[in-house]
Structure formats: structure tokens, C-alpha cells
Amino acid sequence: MEIDKLENWRRTHYSDQIDLETLEGKEIIVCGWIKQTRDLGGLKFAILRDNFGEVQITFPKAKLDEKLFDKANSLRNEMPVAIKGIVKIDKRSPTGFELIPTDLKLLNNVTANLPLDPTYKVKADLDTRLDNRILDLRSTQAHATFIIRHKVTTAIRQFFVNRRFIEINTPRIIATATEGGTELFPIAYFEKEAFLAQSPQLYKEQLTTVFDKVYEIAPIFRAEEHSTTRHLNELMMVDIEMAFCNYNDVMNVLENLIHYVISDVKNNCDKELNILKSDLQIPKLPFKRYTYTETLELLAKNGYELSWGDDIGTDASRKLGSIISGPYFITEWPSEGKPFYIQSRADKPEISESFDLMYGWIELASGGTRVHEKEILIQRLINQGLTPSSFDFHLKVFDWGMPPHAGWGLGLARLVMVLTGKQNIREVVVFPRDRTRLTP
């Protein structure tokens, strides 16, 4: 097959911009990939897919130039093409119209046997889909998932901009751990020891002293060995930090954000939610808040015993998810087990001013009030077996006007998981990185 040059051909319309009232009988150019073809002898059909939908292309032998009709024989699934044609209303077409070509450019070849069928008519397991991710992403279902993910990040940014937060970008190459030393990826950084960032924690706290309210949406890296349906080794984290407030204030921000994002997706992603057969419900505000102690009591009432101080592990979380649906907070976790930067309650030091946001059984976010007094922070570092001098660059800022502050981190992929109803986090990350997957 001869490959055509694009030359001066440019798309005039995306598939969802073809307004039949103004365009019927007019010539337009559409560009995209062939989703499928059908040959009825004297009549050939092709479905062209672009980012916003599909166009049916109809080739009637009787009405077309012979060369053009024959050229349609070379169309293959997933071939990139540009088609010039006349818009014709036709109720039999799934979109209510068809394009009768006047010219066609075949812009590249496609291998005869694709490793994956993006129409999912031939089913593939998740590993095969991820191995051939670019083809997989062209499926209606995966595509819809990532349009929702795009909407989620856009809505998150809008929410923060509306509330006068400042967007920050903190380093991805760091010198010290914040979330526990075992989860760090070491990297070669000239003659120094360095790691990939596991959280913007220290930097976002410092930046409250300048910008008051900050947020960041950025990748973080965690060298967690386990392989689960909700953990990855590289993930996008949404982080905030706010000056002059405590954990209750940032929980309010978080529940309002989740409400805003879900409403936005519900109101603007009808098509995608339908494709994913999601019956997403807008949650009621405020979200339920259970203290850690109340959560243990709730679990005990339902036959799941934990001792005070125990972590609420996967099994217990699943139990909780069977009792409580949608989003809710678990607050005031035991201080022990919380990172050094989390503040304890003044009246009950064994309890921390912290919270997790849950959605069913899945933890979406965690946060709390921070320690803002230097001496207490140094003591916390020592108690956790960390070396305060490694944190000098951070601790010195506490002498320069560190306000009381609080914040949280939200796993973006986990949020998208619950919004799209996907059961595996790999489904909602374009190129996931897990214990065994480093390509594509």
C-alpha cells in the first residue's frame, strides 16, 4: 500500500462538531483511526474514530470514482486516515449521518495482526491490555476512564484556584524520607545519597509560610514491595497544606473537593459514565466522621475485633466497606504509628489530630494537623529513630515564623478508581508502574 502525504489537509471538524443543520451537503475533512470496516460488495462502510466520537463513512460504488472506491479496500482497523467528504443525513447511521467521501488519504500502514482488539470483541486479560496499552487505550471503555480522569484533574485545579490556593512544584529528588525509610527509591545523584520523592510533605509545609494555602498535583514514588489492586510504585498525589488551621479545617476542604469533583464528573461525563455503566452518586455533605475508637467499636459490633492501637488493615477495611458505603472519615488515630510531623492532641497525647478519608473499603487520603513547634518536632524525630540533623534544612524554617498548619495527601488514582467503579488501580493509570511492570 502506498502511504499518502498529509500535505495541506487539516481536520475541519471533530466528530462531535458536525452540526447537521449547517453542514448537511457541505464538504468537510475528518481525521482519525479506522475502528472497523464492513464490505457489502457495492457498498463499503468504515467507522472512523477520533478523540470525541465516531463518524460513519459510506462508500457507495455507484456514486464514487472507481479509484476512490477501490482505495477503500486498503482500509484496516487502527489505520490513521484523513477523509474529505460530503455530510449526508441518514437515520440508519448510529450518529444520524454519514460522510460520503470525495477523497481519502491513508496516512500509515498497520500490521496485519494487532496484539489486541480495541473493540474488546476479542477479550484480553489485564496484563495483555497493559502490555499493549496504547491499543487498549483506544477502546471505548479505557478511553472513557481517562476522559473522566482528565475531568477529575481539571476540576481539582478549578476548585483550588476558586479558593485562592497557589499551585506549587516541589522537588522530585530529595535527601530525606518523610513517610518511613523503607519506601524510598535510592538514586545515583553524583557523590550524594538521594531518593525519589515519596511525598512533598516537608516542602508543602514550608511553603505555607509564604503562600498560606498551597496545593500540588505531582508524581510520587514508593518502593513498596507488595502487589495489590490498590498500590502502585509511581502515582500522582494531590497534596494541600494550609496555614492558620487544624485537621478539621482541612477535612472540610477535602470533603468539599470530593463533592465538587464528583458533581462535576456526574454533570459533565454522562457519556463516559454510561460507557462504564457507573451509577455514581453525588455524596451528601458533610461526610460522616468516625473517630478511630468509634470505628473499632463499629467493627466489634459487626464481629471484627481489634485492640486499641492496632492498624485497620485490609480485612478490617473490607469489613468497614461492607458496613459503610461512599465517603467517610476515620479521625484521631493513635499517635504511635503516625509520621513525625503529625500533631498529637494536647489533652490526650496518645491520640493524634489526624484522619483518613475512606470510600467504602478504600483509603483515598490521609492528613492532619502538623507539629509547628521546633522542639516538639525534634523530639518526635528522635522518638521515631530519625536523625534531626538530617532535617536541618527543614527545621531551621521553624525558627522563621512557622504558623500552625494542616494538610492532606490524596491518591489521585484511588479517587478515579472509585469514580469509575474500576476494581484495579492499574486500570486508571495510563502506564502503571508496579513491582514487576516497568514497560511500556
Q: Does residue 179 bind ligand AMO (CB under 6 A)?
A: yes
3-state secondary structure 225-285: CCCCCCCCCEEEEEEEEEECCCHHHHHHHHHHHHHHHHHHHHHHCHHHHHHCCCCCCCCCC
242-281 residues in contact with ligand AMO (CB under 6 A) are none
Give the residue, chosen from 231, 374, 433, 435, that forms a contact with ligand AMO under the rule CB under 6 A: 231
Smallest separation, CB 23 to ligand AMO (Å): 46
Q: What cell was used for 413?
A: 488514582
* CB of residue 232 to ligand AMO, shortest distance in Å: 5
In whole angstroms, the minimum distance from the beta carbon of 333 to ligand AMO comes to: 11
Among 259, 414, 422, 426, binds ligand AMO (CB under 6 A): 414
Q: Where are the alpha helices (DSSP H) in 35-139?
A: 66-71, 126-131, 133-137
Question: Shortest distance, CB of residue 234 to ligand AMO, whole angstroms?
Answer: 9
The set of residues, in sequence order, having a beta carbon less than 8 Å from that of 410 and lying 6+ positions away, is: 237, 238, 239, 254, 257, 357, 364, 365
Single out the residue of 214, 232, 261, 262 in contact with ligand AMO (rule: CB under 6 A).
232
Which one of the spans 129-137, 316-324, 357-365, 374-382 is the region binding ligand AMO (CB under 6 A)? 357-365
- Tell me if the bond preceding 286 is cis, omega within 30° of 0: yes
The least CB distance from residue 382 to ligand AMO, in Å, is 20
Task: Output 83 or 243, the one with its CB closest to ligand AMO.
Answer: 243
Q: Rule CB under 6 A: choose which of 145, 201, 317, 352 binds ligand AMO.
A: 201
**Segment lying near ligand AMO (by CB under 6 A), choices 33-41, 69-77, 102-110, 409-417:** 409-417
β pairing state of 288-291 and 327-331? parallel
Task: Verify binding: residue 435, ligand AMO, rule CB under 6 A.
Answer: no
Minimum CB distance to ligand AMO, residue 115 (Å): 28
CB of 233 to ligand AMO, least distance (A): 7
Shortest Cβ distance from residue 309 to ligand AMO (Å)? 18
- Residues of 399-416 as b/e, b for ≥16 C-beta within 10 angstroms? eeebebbbbbbbbbbbbb
Q: Does position 212 bind ligand AMO by CB under 6 A?
A: no
Closest CB to ligand AMO among residues 55, 197: 197
C-alpha to C-alpha distances, 225 to 10, 185, 274, 434, nearest whole angstrom:
48, 11, 36, 9
Of 131 and 224, nearer to ligand AMO (C-beta) is 224
For 59-72, give the DSSP string. EEGGGS-HHHHHHG
Binding to ligand AMO (CB under 6 A) within 364-393 occurs at: 364-368
Alpha-carbon dihedral 33, 38, 44, 45, rounded to 10 degrees: -50
Interaction of residue 184 with ligand AMO, rule CB under 6 A: no
Spatial CA neighbour of 34 closest among 20, 18, 45, 42: 45
Which helix (DSSP H) or strand (DSSP E) does residue 101 occupy?
Answer: strand 97-106
Half-sphere CA count of 358, side-chain side, radius 13 A:
27
Which listed range, 62-70, 74-82, 115-123, 228-236, lies at the site for ligand AMO (CB under 6 A)? 228-236
Which residues are at the interface with ligand AMO (CB under 6 A)? 179, 199, 201, 222, 224, 231-232, 235, 237, 239, 363-368, 407-409, 411, 413-414
